[in-house]
DNA sequence: TCAAATAATTCAACCACTAAACAATTTCAG
DNA sequence: CTGAAATTGTTTAGTGGTTGAATTATTTGA
């Protein structure tokens, strides 16, 4: 069955779906599958796959490459691969001490990367975003000189993002109601791009999803100055109704505990934020364990990935967290919760941002072909 | 676009999708829409809608009824409505002091309802389920005498349910690893039905979704002996990776607080479960507020529905909960969290269970038509 | 009484997929 | 060295489902 929705479906939707299916199979399947292998993997006929592949090759999304090693008799296959000269995503990140932009191609490879280290807190938002825009523009031009076509840009910010890319609050940057999309679009070299803005932890979770490959459901916890989380379920990011999910840093751990900047008491951030972390690792681990137990009890998430400042000290945190999980997760006895460090380092959010763009092309190649026609 | 998935799509899937779309439009749209109105609402052509409606009428899912009041000139329309003599769902519930079964027709109307009050804790699972099975069989026979066709049964239990309807743990019933599906299927009158089992709070959330209509995203909190929760997002129930989401009763509220039956300390259940509730309502409200704040911070859920034992004392709980939400939810200042009592009473879970069956028919009418052919 | 309006059906055209036959290219047995 | 078997990829006729335009049906209102 197709997804329940309120829009009609016609033959062109079938084509769009199956184009995405073929592209997905090439991207996530074995090395350089043949048309016949794609047909076998998807259940489509070889005739249909051939027609779909023709469209994707003509549209510059797939290329024929050397076939996989032969096995037995028969006409040799033509291998298919994602192109490395087609659409690409521009990922940007602004953080407390860090500006960065990168370009990722359809295969997921990072083709350009520019970063600038500097404390952004004294700068006003307009200046910081202008500097980031210049960085992004350089990345875009360098990528396009390489034959890539930047299909869009996404920006990761450590804060709450509202509709239209409006940054409602970014406490650690001192921002409030900043129109980041407009600021980036003001850079001439970026003016023609679709630009989106999203929370840093959400995008880092997507970055982790891309590189880790395996887990279709996990919680990514990002320990920075603040603590954010990105929830991936069924291979997709869950953003919440208004896009404000994942604020694990302000989950109450000790109801009458330390005062928090947010006005509450006993927030996780006060015990496991970057500052508290320096003081008392065991207590941070316990606090994390308590908050994560709540997540697992509520959402039944089987895997937790620790990123940001937590990744390098994963070994020191592990025991303390797991002790609390064992004690406090109701289903701990039925199935364990897996804890692991993040695979990507500081670039996770930026990589995830770029990934949202290429993800868009991969999930709806028909739209890309139409636009390129 | 269609949903990304790993299965191919063919013309028959288009048909299946559009049949569901038409049925959905009749079910959720204005009163008794005409074919032309459906075409306008869905974007399909009138020719296509006519063909789809023919199939649905022939398959006994839609009936022509008196048209809506005329407005101006033109040939009068034929109104369409869900049939009340077609497929129906059998909903069952077993709880600490309560057995019940009901039959709900395609329109959502309760057509049969049987209940038996008795403490189930002394009875062993087999006896209790046999008694429930007899109740369900009576409901089914009475419904089928009315022209309904029971398409399946669903059972609500206060516990964790694993694959294949195995009840892994139901603490308040004292159950462990009970094969509830097999027990119900042992009743001859139910042997031919597809039977599913789900958590009581999850199903109550679905029941609430059906009657409340409006909110596409909310958390339903069920205060019984234990405390469960069902999360609805985008009009669908979120079950978690293993179906064990919603265990809000064992979210830690006071890390060093009262010991809980589960082996942990400071679980919400110890402060806001039915027993604690009798002692100290303000404290229960505060504890609920703390746990719910965690949910909102993590998931950005805009609406919380209080059901079970909480519904009748909603007024007494409201202030205490809202105080904590205001203090502890990071985004409380950006958009308020709505708190409201459940619309359905004790029958919520049973209604939700029956609803899963008719939901199945509504979401894939093509499968029903094929089976009836 | 007839024109205008609206509802529903019919029919030719189109699009995408399937199934089966065919063409191309290789392996391997004799 | 030759030809049968195997495998890939293409071609072609057929089918199912939607569209759009024409047609039929039925009512209102000038």
Q: List the single range of A178-182, A237-241, B364-368 with lowest mean pLDDT.
A: A237-241
Confidence (pLDDT) at B5: 64
A299 chain-B contacts, CB cut-off 8 A: 231, 238, 240, 245, 298-299
| Reported confidence tier of residue A214, pLDDT bands at 50, 70, 90 | confident
The residue of chain B with its CA nearest to that of A29 is: B6
Nearest to B300 among A20, A244, A295 (CB): A244
The answer to whether residues A243 and A275 belong to one domain is: yes
A96/A30 same-domain check: no
How far apart CA B53 and CA B56 sit, in angstroms, is 5
Q: Which nucleotides of D are covered by protein (CB under 7 A)?
A: 4-12, 15-21, 25-29
Number of A/B CB contacts below 8 angstroms equals: 214
Question: Does residue B1 belong to any structural domain of this protein?
Answer: no
**pLDDT, position A22:** 98
Q: From A24, A50, A82, give the residue that closes a domain.
A: A82
CATH code (residue B352)? 3.30.420.40
Neighbours of B135 (CB within 10 A): 21
- B364 lies in the same domain as B246: no
Structure confidence at residue A147 (pLDDT): 96
pLDDT bin (cut points 50, 70, 90) of residue B91 is very high
pLDDT in tens, A83-131: 999 999 999 999 988 899 999 999 999 999 999 998 877 779 999 999 9
Taking the alpha carbons at both ends of chain A, their separation in whole angstroms is 30
Give the nearest chain A residue to B367 (CA atoms).
A1
Domain count, chain A: 3
Tens-place pLDDT, residues A17-57: 999 999 999 999 878 999 999 999 999 999 999 999 999 99
* Residues from chain A contacting residue B335 (CB–CB below 8 Å): 242
- pLDDT at B95 > cutoff 80: yes
Comparing CB atoms, the residue among B8, B244, B252 nearest residue A294 is B252
Mean pLDDT of A323-327: 98
Helix then strand then coil, in percent of chain A rounded to 5, is 45, 25, 35
Footprint of strand C, using CB within 7 A?
A: A 11-12, 14-15, 18, 43-48, 51-52, 70, 72-76; B 8-11, 34-37, 46-47, 50-51, 53-54, 67, 72-78
Same domain, A189 and A231: no
B225 shares its domain with B336? yes
Task: Check CB contact under 8 Å for A334 and B1.
Answer: no
Region of poorest pLDDT, from A105-114, A128-137, A211-220, B303-312: A211-220
B101, part of any domain: yes
Higher pLDDT, residue B98 or A327:
A327
From A2, which residue of chain B is nearest by alpha-carbon distance? B17
Q: What is the mean pLDDT of residues A298-326?
A: 97
Q: Residue B146: which domain range?
A: 87-193+348-372
Does the residue B200 lie in any domain?
A: no
Contact yes or no for A299 and B298 at CB 8 A: yes
| Chain B positions in Cβ-Cβ contact with residue A366 (cut-off 8 Å) | 1
A149 and A219 in a single domain? The answer is no
For B51-89, how does the pLDDT look when each residue is reduced to its tens digit (9 = 90+)?
Answer: 999 999 999 999 999 877 777 788 888 999 999 999 999
Are the C-beta atoms of residues A210 and A203 closer than 8 Å to each other? Answer: no
**B10, B241, B264 member nearest A327 (Cβ):** B264
CB contact under 8 A, A16 and B2: yes
Same-domain status, A255 and A232:
yes
Average pLDDT over residues B331-337: 93
Q: Report CB contact under 8 Å: B231, A298.
A: yes
Q: Which nucleotide is nearest to B74 (CA to C1')?
A: C6
Which residues, in sequence order, are CB contacts of B96 under 8 Å at separation 6+? B119, B120, B121, B158, B172, B173, B224, B225
- Is the model's pLDDT at A225 over the cut of 70? yes
CA–CA gap between residue A301 and residue A304 (Å, rounded): 7
Q: How confident is the model at residue B224 (pLDDT cuts 50, 70, 90)?
A: confident
Q: Are residues B116 and B209 in the same domain?
A: no
Assign A159 to helix, strand or coil.
coil
Q: Specify the 3-state DSSP secondary structure of A334.
A: coil
Q: What is the pLDDT of residue B2?
A: 42
Distance (Å) from the alpha carbon of B79 to chain A's nearest alpha carbon: 20
Chain A hits for B24, CB-CB cut-off 8 Å, are: 4, 6
Q: Is residue A238 part of a domain?
A: yes
Work out the widest C-alpha separation in chain A, in whole angstroms.
73
Chain A residues lying within 8 Å of B4, measured CB to CB: 20, 24, 363
Question: Nearest-CA distance from A71 to chain B in Å?
Answer: 26
Domain end marker among A59, A82, A105: A82
Q: Which chain A positions have a beta carbon within 8 Å of B2's beta carbon?
A: 2-3, 9, 13, 16-17
Tell me: do B125 and B24 sit in the same domain: no
Catalogue the E-assigned strands of chain A. Answer: 62-65, 79-82, 87-95, 98-105, 110-116, 149-157, 160-161, 166-170, 175-179, 195-199, 218-223, 227-233, 236-238, 303-308, 338-341
Instruction: Let me know if residue A254 belongs to a domain.
Output: yes
pLDDT at A245: 95
**pLDDT per residue as tens digits for the range A230-270:** 999 989 999 989 999 999 999 999 999 999 999 999 999 99
Is there a domain that residue B31 lies in? Answer: yes
Residue A5 — pLDDT band, cuts 50, 70, 90? low
Lowest mean pLDDT among A168-177, A189-198, A266-275, B346-355: A168-177
Which residue is closest to A265 within chain B, CA to CA? B328
Measure A251 CA to nearest chain B CA, in Å. Answer: 5
Which of A67, A82, A97 is where one domain is finished? Answer: A82
Do B215 and B234 contact (CB within 8 A), yes or no? no
In a domain, B134, yes or no: yes
The residue behind tokens 């009657």 is: B211
Q: Residue B1 pLDDT more than 50? A: no
Tell me what pLDDT residue A119 has.
84
- Tell me: do A48 and A110 sit in the same domain: no
Matching residue, tokens 């402060």: B271
Whether residues A181 and A224 share a domain: the answer is: no
**Does B113 reside within a domain?**
yes
A125 with A78, same domain: the answer is no
pLDDT of A118 reads 87
**Mean pLDDT value of segment B39-44:** 95
**Residue B28 is part of a domain; what is its CATH number?**
1.10.10.10
How high is the pLDDT of residue B369?
96
pLDDT (0 to 100) of residue A215: 86
């Amino acid at each position: 069955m197709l997804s329940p929705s309120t829009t009609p479906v016609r033959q062109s939707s079938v084509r769009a779906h199956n184009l995405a299916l073929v592209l997905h199979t090439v991207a996530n399947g074995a090395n350089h599958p043949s048309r016949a292998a794609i047909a076998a993997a998807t259940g489509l006929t070889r005739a249909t796959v051939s027609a779909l592949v023709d469209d994707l090759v003509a549209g510059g999304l797939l290329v024929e490459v050397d076939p996989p090693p032969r096995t037995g008799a028969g006409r040799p296959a033509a291998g298919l691969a994602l192109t490395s000269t087609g659409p690409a995503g521009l990922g940007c990140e602004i953080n407390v001490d860090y500006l960065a932009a990168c370009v990722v191609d359809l295969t997921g490879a990072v083709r350009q990367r520019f970063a600038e280290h500097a404390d952004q807190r004294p700068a006003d938002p307009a200046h910081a975003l202008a500097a980031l825009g210049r960085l992004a523009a350089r990345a875009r031009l360098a990528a396009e000189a390489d034959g890539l076509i930047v299909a869009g840009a996404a920006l990761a910010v450590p804060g709450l993002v509202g509709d239209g890319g409006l940054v409602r609050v970014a406490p650690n940057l001192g921002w409030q109601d900043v129109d980041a999309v407009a600021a980036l679009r003001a850079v001439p070299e970026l003016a023609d791009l679709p630009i989106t803005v999203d929370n840093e932890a959400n995008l880092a979770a997507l970055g982790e999803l891309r590189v880790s490959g395996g887990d279709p459901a996990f919680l990514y916890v990002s320990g920075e100055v603040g603590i954010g989380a990105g929830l991936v379920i069924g291979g997709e990011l869950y953003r919440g109704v208004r896009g404000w999910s994942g604020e694990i840093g302000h989950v109450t751990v000790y109801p009458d505990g330390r005062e928090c900047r947010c006005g509450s008491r006993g927030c996780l951030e006060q015990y496991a934020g970057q500052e508290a972390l320096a003081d008392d690792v065991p207590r941070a681990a316990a606090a994390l364990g308590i908050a994560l137990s709540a997540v697992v009890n509520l959402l039944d998430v089987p895997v937790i990935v620790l990123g940001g400042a937590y990744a390098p000290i994963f070994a020191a945190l592990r025991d303390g967290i797991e002790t609390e999980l064992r004690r406090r997760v109701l289903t701990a006895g039925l199935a364990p919760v897996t804890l692991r460090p993040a695979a990507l380092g500081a670039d996770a959010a930026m990589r995830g941002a770029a990934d949202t763009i290429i993800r868009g092309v991969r999930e709806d190649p028909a739209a890309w072909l139409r636009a390129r026609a």
